[in-house]
Amino acid sequence: MGRLSGKRAIVTGAGSGIGRASAMLFALEGAKVVAVDRVEDAVDETAAMIRAKGGTVTSIAADAGDEIAVKGIVDHCVKEFGGLDVVYANAGISGGWVPLQEQTVQYWTEILRINLIGPFLAIKHASPHMIKQGHGSIVCTASVAGLRANAGGTAYSASKAGVVSLVQTTANEFYGTGVRVNAICPGLIETGMTKPIFDGARARGTEGKIGQLNPLKRNGVPEEIAQMALFLASDDASYVNGQAIAVDGGLSSTHPFAGKR
């Protein structure tokens, strides 16, 4: 019996990185998974990897920031698997590093649409099913960039701070329903989104300095975030609600400092 046996789960951004690792782990732990990503080939590959390990999964190519698409994803899970117990609203974009004076309204709008409106839509359309059954877990990917400065671009950081507030306010809006809403705040994780950082460091020969600002002196990997997502999705976290939990090697526990060694 896995920690998610009998659960029906949706994971967005499942075509790579944290989303792929989480979708695979959820399936291995017994969940029936709807894997979602706007890149069809990538999410189909995730589904094939899950099936190869004996998991149950369907894949959908969709935009997690589009309301019609999100409603369709939720409806698909309910129809295909008979209900919905877990949503991991993980899809996000970084927007890259753009100087403030060069940022446009369109640039901000797209980042907020995917990173903040996307989780809102997941909560909006998943919660009625969960409220009706008296339980459910919604997990959103925020970031340490949403907690303090200097961990991401301006628009990205603002969007992730919004996710932190979103899970706090909706957890309280669902007072007495049995529906939990939490966020994970990853630190520096090697994914497709952060690939330019890692590629740049390797090209400069400074790979050994990656992650030097946290006490563990290393970056994280998607599977480490997936383990937190699994915990929050499972009944093991039955008393965890309205929280934004940093998984960052200790980065957010202190003010920035120069490496001691």
185 secondary structure, DSSP code: E
What's the pLDDT at 79? 98
d(CA 210, CA 259): 11
Phi then psi dihedrals of residue 44, to 5 deg: -65, -35
| SS3 assignment, position 245 | strand
Phi then psi dihedrals of residue 4, to 5 deg: -120, 25
Q: Is 208 within a domain?
A: no
Q: Is 47 within a domain?
A: yes
What's the pLDDT at 213? 82
Cα distances (angstroms) measured from residue 101 to each of 154, 160, 178, 248:
11, 21, 45, 30
Concatenate the DSSP letters of all residues of 35-86 into one string. Answer: EEES-HHHHHHHHHHHHHTT-EEEEEE--TT-HHHHHHHHHHHHHHHS---E
Q: Is 132 within a domain?
A: yes
Q: Is 215 within a domain?
A: no
Count of CB atoms situated within 10 Å of the CB of 179: 24
The tens digit of pLDDT for each residue in 191-222 reads: 777 767 776 667 787 777 776 888 898 889 99
Does residue 92 have a pLDDT over 90? yes
Query: Residue 218's Cα: distance from chain center in Å?
Result: 21
Q: Is 3 within a domain?
A: no
What's the pLDDT at 201? 65
Residue 178 belongs to a domain with what CATH number? 3.40.50.720
Domain range for residue 175?
A: 8-190+221-247
Q: Could you give the number of structural domains in the chain?
A: 1
Task: State the pTM of this model.
Answer: 0.94
Largest Cα separation within the chain, whole Å, is 56
What's the pLDDT at 256? 67
The tens digit of pLDDT for each residue in 54-67 reads: 999 999 999 999 99
Q: Is 207 within a domain?
A: no
Q: Is 168 within a domain?
A: yes
What's the pLDDT at 53? 97
Count of CB atoms situated within 10 Å of the CB of 229: 29
214 secondary structure, DSSP code: S
What's the pLDDT at 258? 58
**More confident position, 254 or 175:** 175
Beta bridge partners of 184: 141, 245
What is the Cα gyration radius of the chain?
Answer: 18
Q: Is 253 within a domain?
A: no
The set of catalytic residues is 156
